[in-house]
Structure 1
Amino acid sequence: MTTFTAFTTLAGKAQAEGLGEAMERLDPEPYGVGVFELEDDSGLWEVGGYFTEAPDEAGLAVLAAAFGAKPFAVSELPETDWVAKVKRELAPVQAGRFFLYGSHDADKVPEGVEPLLIEAAMAFGTGHHGTTLGCLRALDRLATEGFSTDRTADIGCGTAVLAMAAARIWPGVPVASDIDPVAVDVAEANLAANDMAGTVTCLEATGFDHPRIAEGAPYGLIFANILKGPLVDLAPDLSAHLAPGGHAILSGILNEQADEVKAAYGAQGCALHFEEVIGDWTTLTLTKTA
């Protein structure tokens, strides 16, 4: 089925949200509207609509003018089997001892690795993104250094691949939480696909706001692969839930944002242990020293 997109940018959260709401009243109506702040510190917001029919470009032009937005860029997308496309283009990934693959590459799993099956339909968290890859490498690095813990938390877990990786090499049952209930369902499905049901506790939670997370503290290792803003906001809570001498692996950080994140956690008694840059993204491994 051919689909259409219409995107624009404008300044201000309130204006962007108002434009998004107005787009929902278009005829033909979009089957989805997204409103997101751009992560480039420009202060701009992106508003996009997705349509199964060609959108009313005159109506879009009126809305853009009314809300002070740039003219909408309208695109027609050809019919594509996206899962098949992803399967073709996502090759297996090795991050230290961990080997991430889709079922279509099951015959490529080498000997002597910790294999993790992550299906292409669940694309974020397959290990191809620099943030997930950086976290897996950081985990492998800690294990190679001789570190181990039976208390691990994965905050903002997505596919829960990080918690699963920790469960493969260390004792204990990691906690994996996400604000999105769909992500929690995906995490459970990934555990089942890897014959790991019950080895990770999956929870719906905002940050550390869940009694099961509090019960497990203090943690020897906490993953938080989210974004700079939430990471900075979480610094006091994350540090409070981390055991002295424990580590935090943080990512979702653009390279130019790393110093701000390090400063926020340094103020909470967490010192830099290792820093890795992969493309545009930085992964920080911190140690709680106080």
Structure 2
Amino acid sequence: MSQTRLHFIATRPASTGLFAALETEFEDDGLPIAIMELDEDAGTDEISVYADDGTTQEVERRILAIAARHDLSPSLEQEVLPDIDWVTKSLEGLKPVRAGRFLVHGSHDRDRRRTGDIGIEIEAGLAFGTGHHGTTAGCLEVLTQVVRRESPRNALDLGTGSAVLAIALAKMARISVLATDIDAVATAVAKENVRLNAVSAYVETATAAGFQNPVFARRGPFDLIVANILARPLMKLAPQMAAHLLPGGSLVLSGILDRQRDAVVAAYAGQRFRHVRTLHREGWVTIHLKR
């Protein structure tokens, strides 16, 4: 799917405030947003929002509406980007990532595995989650501790992306894992990575939105749920998380910015979850809660 970059120039401090407002506006949409300094002396920044094919006009309307609320009327420019699998292209130069005992790598780096490593081989695909993001690495670290201390037997990886976390649980604990995503493309990538890592006997993949799909009733309740998505969806899902997690079970949440941490913890405290630990990494947090 091709993308269009909508970009404009703004001066500070207005640019930083507008960038924060746009992050909030498009957080649930998952649209990439970037800010880049253009001229330090003049205090100007370029702000970019990347719209998927067919949504450009709607995204432009929302950008201008947010800008108007900040008393700004930026001159928006558009750049149609080539239809390239940017994830595949970017992974070509990525190095293996270590997180505790885990080594997340591509096929070209199999020889980087050392004795004692738990290797997770991820091929480039269209799904998010290669281990190079702070949220994925944070989840791997927290899950390692949860498995060691609690020995879960039935786990859910909600919003699995490329299935790194589901594969990690299967390899580390040899337990049953349900890996779901709302995106059929992500599910297909996850299934292939599960096969590639020889854990198909442990991991079932499914395309499912929320908890309405019958697969959750069939496979649940769970004694461990990990969800690396976004803060707002996680907060909305708090009651359903509680309904599908066994008493005493662990919940590992990520995809949460540092500034969103307190709101997420409060949402789950209202569902009788107890905060165990927050891991900070690269401006993101991974939160461990127990029911």
TM-score (norm 2): 0.75
**Corresponding residue of 2:42:** none
Choose which of 224, 227, 231 in structure 1 pairs with 2:230: 227
Residue 181 (structure 2) pairs with residue 184 (structure 1) = no
1:190-201 aligned within 5 A: 190-201=193-204
2:112 to 108, 114, 129: 108
- CA offsets per residue over residues 147-171 of structure 1, 9 Å max, x none? 2111100111111111111111224
Name the amino acid aligned to 2:278.
E
For structure 2, the residue ranges without an aligned partner over 5 or more in a row are 9-20, 32-48, 55-59
Distance 1:184 1:271 in 2: 31
Q: Is the 8 A contact 1:231 1:261 kept in 2?
A: yes
Q: Distance between the aligned counterparts of 1:239 and 1:271, measured in 2?
A: 12
2:136 matched to 1:132?
yes
Relative distance call for 1:79 and 1:143 in structure 2 (3 A) is closer
- TM-score normalised to structure 1 length: 0.75
| 2:6 alignment counterpart | 7
Cα distance 1:49–1:275, how it changes in 2: closer, same or farther (>3 A)? Answer: closer
2 CA distance for matches of 1:84 and 1:5? 18
1:252 is displaced (CA, Å) by 0.8
For the pair shown, the structure with the greater C-alpha radius of gyration is 1
Out of 247, 250, 254, the residue aligned to residue 247 of structure 1 is 250
Query: Structure 1 pair 111/123, CA: closer, same or farther in 2 (3 Å)?
Result: farther
Q: Is the 1:130–1:279 contact (alpha carbons within 8 Å) kept by the matching residues of 2?
A: yes
1:1-290 to structure 2, matched below 5 A, reads 5-8=4-7, 38-40=22-24, 46=49, 48=51, 70-75=74-79, 82=86, 83-88=88-93, 90-122=94-126, 124-144=128-148, 146-288=149-291
C-alpha distance in structure 2 between counterparts of 1:102 and 1:198, whole Å: 22
Residues 160 and 80 of structure 1: CA distance in aligned 2, closer, same or farther (over 3 Å): closer
Deviations 1:119-148 (A, max 9, x none): 23456311111111111111012234x221
- 1:62-90, Cα deviation, whole Å (9 max, x unpaired): xx79x9773223448699895354322x1
RMSD: 3.3
Give percent identity, aligned residues only.
40
Q: Is the CA contact 1:152–1:175 (under 8 Å) kept in the aligned structure 2?
A: yes
* Aligned partner letter, 1:99: L
Q: Secondary structure at the match of 2:290?
A: strand
Stretches of structure 1 that go unaligned for 5 or more consecutive residues are 10-36, 52-59
